[in-house]
Amino acid sequence: MPSVYIKTYGCQMNERDSEAVAAQLVTKGYTLAPSETLADVILLNTCSVRDFAEQKAIGKMQNIAAETRRARPGVVLGFMGCMAQSRGRELIDQLPDVDLVLGTQKFHRAGDYLDEILAGRRKQIVDVAEESGSEATIREHLLNGSAKKSVSAFVSIMQGCNQYCTFCIVPYTRGEERSRTIPDIVAECRQLVAAGVREITLLGQIVNSFAKRDIPVRDGLSAFVQLLEAVHAIDGLERIRFTSPHPKGYGDDLIAAYARLPKLCESAHLPLQSGSDRILKLMHRGYTRERFATIIQKLRAARPNVGITTDIIVGFPGETDADFAQTLELCREVRFDNAFIFKYSERRDTPAAAMPDQVPQEVREQRNAALLELINGIGREKYDAYVGQTVQILVEGPSKKNAARLTGRTRCNKIVLFEGADRHLGQLMDLKITRTGSFTLYGDPAIVNL
């Protein structure tokens, strides 16, 4: 049987989609190649959120094509995911060596299409059509791949986005918002837990919009909180996370869920994008800085030590020094544990790309550097405060950088490295933090009770 190598760019949804495709192919008998140089099928699962991510994947495919086409002409090359969806056949026109272009609603067809290409029945396949029901097709998991995968799993609860933030390409690449049903999601979670998973992260572009048109509010609980309750009731599951909620529509029922549901980990990724009301409006975000700050206050009241991370865009069209100063000020006020900072990138066909007053590249760079310095400084103080504390971690597996160390996450979603033993794998354990690195904690299980 052939071997496959999948390289993933971008977000956790993409990681999850790649895992589902890999698992689908393994079920058909494929093996997973450790690198592209050995694989019979090479798939790049792409990201379109910024131009940089697209150029990286295109450059990578050019290199792979140049190498494999000479030495191993039979290797099948494919693009999947967001860039495959937005560019479609254009990718094959640009890179004629590419055999497969698979859109975001077609991951479940990967196996069939590869069969046809490998058997020589079809030469090149492009499928970026919409498919109703595709939101429920991302379900296979690779549980025996690594220790990391088997204790912690992602579950996709919905696809698409209807918010149309003016900078964002996702509504075009991922389509209309479509949610799975609660019983379907719970059944998948139950299977994962039966297979040894202890932590589940529910994934969607705006999770708090989950099924809001399909499932009515019940006893004051939105559909998403009803889903959280149903997942929470699964015996043997220890930890629940979700990403990402949107500040718009972040209801008090969700805050109350943090106070009520002990398995819900005290960590939250809440994308801010900007601290200026004027820019938030131009972005079509649907909330103000005050509303954002209020959500954070309420979350902290419900769970005082909640770890909070965010996404921020610098250099959105029309962003002045005064607007940017408001972002800095809000970050000083909120004190995020960490933030992903993005330099605004024009995406074709999005309204922001045609807005006046595009910010010069060097100003985007300067604002990026200034915000990074602030975020890193606050992050360092927050991480340093952990030294001497005992935290609970779920041990995921060996650290990527140093296989002699194990890695796990605290309930607040901070990575902890420690020198452990095989018997710690997959365990929930307490350890004492001895020192910190850059957005990393180091712990020692031996001194937990001292």
* Residues in CB range of 281: below 8 A, 6 or more apart: none
Q: Does 313 interact with ligand F3S (rule: CB under 6 A)?
A: no
Which string of x and - marks every residue 223-262 that binds ligand SAH (by CB under 6 A)? Answer: ---------------------x------------------
Express the helix, strand and coil content of the chain in percent, nearest 5 each.
Answer: 40, 20, 40
Closer to ligand SAH by CB, 167 or 210: give it.
Answer: 167
CB of 161 to ligand SAH, least distance (A): 6
CB of 387 to ligand SAH, least distance (A): 31
CA distance 84 to 89: 8
Binding-site member from 75, 82, 161, 296 for ligand F3S (CB under 6 A): 161
Say which entry of ligand F3S, ligand SAH, none residue 171 contacts (CB below 5 to 8 A, set by partner kind): ligand F3S
User: Looking at the chain, how many residues does it have?
Assistant: 450
Say which entry of ligand SAH, ligand F3S, none residue 149 contacts (CB below 5 to 8 A, set by partner kind): none
- Where does this chain touch ligand SAH (CB under 6 A) — which range of 53-61, 149-157, 164-172, 299-307? 164-172
Q: How would you classify the pairing of strands 440-444 and 100-102? A: unpaired
Binding-site member from 5, 9, 154, 167 for ligand SAH (CB under 6 A): 167
Which string of x and - marks every residue 204-223 that binds ligand F3S (by CB under 6 A)? Answer: -xx-----------------
Say which entry of ligand F3S, ligand SAH, none residue 50 contacts (CB below 5 to 8 A, set by partner kind): ligand SAH
Task: Work out the burial of residue 77: count CB atoms within 10 Å of its CB; fewer than 13 is exposed, 13-18 middle, 19 or more buried.
Answer: buried
- Where does this chain touch ligand F3S (CB under 6 A) — which range of 132-140, 166-174, 222-230, 405-413? 166-174
- CA nearest neighbour of 308 among 392, 388, 378, 223: 378
Q: Does 164 interact with ligand F3S (rule: CB under 6 A)?
A: yes
CB of 293 to ligand F3S, least distance (A): 19
Site size toward ligand F3S, by CB under 6 A:
10
**Other C-beta atoms within 10 Å of 179: how many?**
25
Answer yes or no: are the C-beta atoms of 407 and 425 closer than 8 Å. no
CB of 167 to ligand F3S, least distance (A): 7
3-state secondary structure 195-264: CCCCEEEEECCCHHHCCCCCCCCECCECHHHHHHHHHHCCCCCCEEEEECCCCCCCCHHHHHHHHHCCCE
Q: Does 47 interact with ligand SAH (rule: CB under 6 A)?
A: no
Q: Does 395 interact with ligand F3S (rule: CB under 6 A)?
A: no
Q: The tokens of 370 are what?
A: 């200034």
- CA nearest neighbour of 243 among 273, 218, 264, 216: 264
CA distance 163 to 209: 10
CB of 171 to ligand F3S, least distance (A): 5
Binding-site member from 163, 376, 434, 440 for ligand F3S (CB under 6 A): 163
- CA nearest neighbour of 113 among 129, 104, 126, 130: 126
Q: Which residues pair with 77 in a beta bridge?
A: 42
Closer to ligand SAH by CB, 117 or 206: give it.
Answer: 206
Place of tokens 């960490």: 338
Q: Does 314 interact with ligand SAH (rule: CB under 6 A)?
A: no
- CA nearest neighbour of 163 among 107, 130, 212, 127: 212
* Residues in CB range of 144: below 8 A, 6 or more apart: 150
CA distance 48 to 54: 6
Q: Does 170 interact with ligand F3S (rule: CB under 6 A)?
A: yes
Query: Rounded to the nearest 5°, which phi and psi values hold at 96?
Result: -65, -15
Binding-site member from 130, 311, 329, 444 for ligand SAH (CB under 6 A): 311
CB of 285 to ligand F3S, least distance (A): 7
Binding-site member from 49, 231, 308, 394 for ligand SAH (CB under 6 A): 49
- Where does this chain touch ligand F3S (CB under 6 A) — which range of 39-47, 167-175, 191-199, 401-409? 167-175
Site of interaction with ligand SAH (CB under 6 A): 49-50, 167-168, 170, 205-206, 244, 271, 273, 311, 313, 342, 344-345, 347
Site of interaction with ligand F3S (CB under 6 A): 161, 163-165, 168, 170-171, 205-206, 246
